[in-house]
Amino acid sequence: MNTRTATPSTPVETGRPDRAWGPILGLVLVGIAALEAARPLGDNSFLTHLSTGRLILEGGGLPVSDPYTFTSAGESWIAQSWFASVLYALVEAGSGGLGLRLLHMSLVAVLAALVWWLTSPAVAPTTRLVVAAPVIMLGLSRWSERPHLLGLIGLALVLAALQGRIDPRLLVPVMWVWVNSHGSFPLAFALVGAWLMGALMDRRGVGPALTTLAWVVAGVLVAGLNPYGPRLWVFPLELMGRSDVLREYVKEWQPIGIGQRSAMIFAVIVLLAVLAASRTRRWAEVLPAVGFAVGAFMSTRNTAPATIVMIPVLVRGLTGEEIGRLPSVSAATARRVMTALTGVFALAVVALLGVVPSWDWEGYPTVSLDKATDLGLTDPSVRLVARDFVGNLRAFREGAHQSIFIDDRYELHDEELISDQAQLLNGISWEEILDRYRADVVLWEADTELGQALVESDQWETIESEPGWIMACRRDSMVASNCR
């Protein structure tokens, strides 16, 4: 068995006069990605991750039961992304929302740079651009300010180790961060396993894949040294045990929606990969691409990792195609262009960070929650029913006092609660559901079936709120007087 250390893929197209364009195009793609990532923060899941990090830093320790909702209070829960949550809270404590935006921008820029770097065996800058641009373009619709970014960076580094582009021993700290930040770390085993199987089919040396696998395993074992211990190892299995519920109620767990912009970009990448795979029989690269693509078609959340795994197939299959040549530039000219571009992007980032607010609350009922707080309707003793993303916002604003109805931690909440939220959204059995949860106040979108029903009900009194939202108090509740 060949156990030699892997060596980087040898570029096929050498002696090209336009090679100096490579760093320039890479800088442009990374700069665009960074600018897009510098947008205001507002992802609902991120709000709860940040709130959990605050809770840990404030001395509450790592949670072992739900600290936020009255519906799942006391239920066993671990903050699987505790490391990322603590990182967010530390950055916020030091530099506020601006620091969090810089952190997100930096992670996206690193991931975009890794994508570009993984295309380098193609040498021809036009080929690299054809491969990297759609991957990054789709990524910008998926690379939100969540811990999964750390997992995607980890996946790209595992891929680089398989290609012999980095020392596989670096995967030990990489896997520690990944395991303690996001439950997608089994993707590392899926990638290495498919690559190893493909290498056997290619009848090539499997040493690099076995070496990478050994260091991935070592990293996961070391990752067991965490405040939760081995529980983080089994979290993905527990999550997959709820896959039926997740696929039914969570959009990102559902198949790709035809007609979406991201779905069309993904389709282009897959078509390019099919074309590329037909030109190369390197099964070590093809098998992982096929497996991850199938996973992506089954669940939207898998599209981002799938496009990264497809890069080697795209590069190998499209290398040699005369996609186009750019005018030759000297190394000195390329350096001057890169210096100028770096200055332009830096000024644009500074302007964007300085002018645009750090938080984007569009779509959230912030005015209604302000009013509810003034009226004493967000106290822990009050049962305020609202949708999951409002629960994430309340955790961010109010911390942990178990007064939230539901948030988007679907790995925690039981199926009945998740189903009840869907029933409320459609105005089905809403009175029975609100009675069962002993709801005092409801905050809901005005243009929904429930919103209209609350306005028409003589059991509920609506409070003047904000456009698009209804806030209503039960007339016979203990807080009814607060609502008048």
Lowest-pLDDT range, 29-43, 149-163, 345-359, 470-484? 470-484
Write out the two tokens for 88. Answer: 């967010």
Collapse the DSSP code of 460 into the 3-class scheme (helix H, G, I; strand E, B; otherwise coil) and give the result. strand
pLDDT confidence of residue 278: 87
Same domain, 146 and 264: yes
Same domain, 166 and 223: yes
The total number of structural domains that make up the chain: 2
DSSP 404: B
Is residue 356 very low, low, confident or very high in pLDDT (cuts 50, 70, 90)? Answer: very high
Q: Kindly give the residue spans of alpha helices, DSSP state H, lying in 180-260.
A: 186-202, 207-223, 231-240, 243-249
pLDDT confidence of residue 76: 94
Alpha carbon distance 376, 229 (integer Å):
40
Same domain, 261 and 172: yes
Tell me whether residue 354 is in a domain.
Answer: no
Same domain, 398 and 312: no
User: Which is nearest to 124 in space by CA: 281, 278, 326?
Assistant: 326
Same domain, 256 and 390: no
Average pLDDT (92-102) is 97
How far is CA 209 from each of CA 159, 164, 172, 402, 431, rounded to the nearest angstrom?
A: 10, 9, 15, 47, 58
Give the residue from 318, 349, 379 where a domain finishes: 318
**Which uninterrupted H or E stretch holds 462?**
strand 460-463
pLDDT digits (tens, 9 = 90+) for 244-279: 888 889 888 888 877 678 889 999 999 999 999 988
The pTM is what? 0.94
Same domain, 285 and 374: no
| HSE, side-chain direction, 13 A CA sphere, residue 235 | 25
User: Which is nearest to 23 in space by CA: 272, 312, 350, 329?
Assistant: 329
Write out the two tokens for 183. Answer: 């439950």
Tell me whether residue 331 is in a domain.
Answer: no
Tell me whether residue 478 is in a domain.
Answer: yes
Average pLDDT (202-216) is 93
Instruction: Look up the domain containing 408 and give its range.
Output: 366-483
How far is CA 372 from each of CA 176, 365, 407, rounded to the nearest angstrom?
A: 42, 10, 18
Tell me whether residue 341 is in a domain.
Answer: no
pLDDT confidence of residue 262: 85
Tell me whether residue 465 is in a domain.
Answer: yes
Same domain, 138 and 250: yes
CA 321 to centroid of chain Cα atoms: 34
pLDDT digits (tens, 9 = 90+) for 444-469: 999 999 999 999 999 999 988 899 99
pLDDT digits (tens, 9 = 90+) for 1-53: 344 444 444 444 445 667 789 999 999 999 999 999 999 999 999 999 999 99
Alpha carbon distance 445, 387 (integer Å):
9
Average pLDDT (81-103) is 98
| Cα three-residue angle 419-444-300, rounded to 5 degrees | 50
Residue 100 reports pLDDT greater than 70: yes
Alpha carbon distance 102, 108 (integer Å):
10
pLDDT digits (tens, 9 = 90+) for 210-241: 999 999 999 999 999 999 999 999 999 988 88
Alpha carbon distance 31, 357 (integer Å):
20
Tell me whether residue 11 is in a domain.
Answer: no
The tokens 């739900």 sit on which residue?
66
Collapse the DSSP code of 426 into the 3-class scheme (helix H, G, I; strand E, B; otherwise coil) and give the result. coil
Give the residue from 283, 318, 353 where a domain finishes: 318
Same domain, 379 and 478: yes
Write out the two tokens for 146. Answer: 């969540």
Query: Treating both helix axes as pointing N-terminal to C-terminal, what angle do 82-118 and 44-55 enclose, rounded to 10 degrees?
Result: 130
Same domain, 314 and 370: no
Q: Which residues have a Cβ under 8 Å from the Cβ of 59 and sit 6 or more positions away?
A: none
Query: Treating both helix axes as pointing N-terminal to C-terminal, what angle do 388-398 and 44-55 enclose, rounded to 10 degrees?
Result: 30
262 C-beta neighbours (distance < 10 Å), count: 18
Same domain, 303 and 378: no
pLDDT confidence of residue 7: 44
Same domain, 58 and 204: yes
Residue 65 reports pLDDT greater than 60: yes
Tell me whether residue 148 is in a domain.
Answer: yes
Same domain, 314 and 372: no
Residue 103 reports pLDDT greater than 90: yes
Tell me whether residue 329 is in a domain.
Answer: no
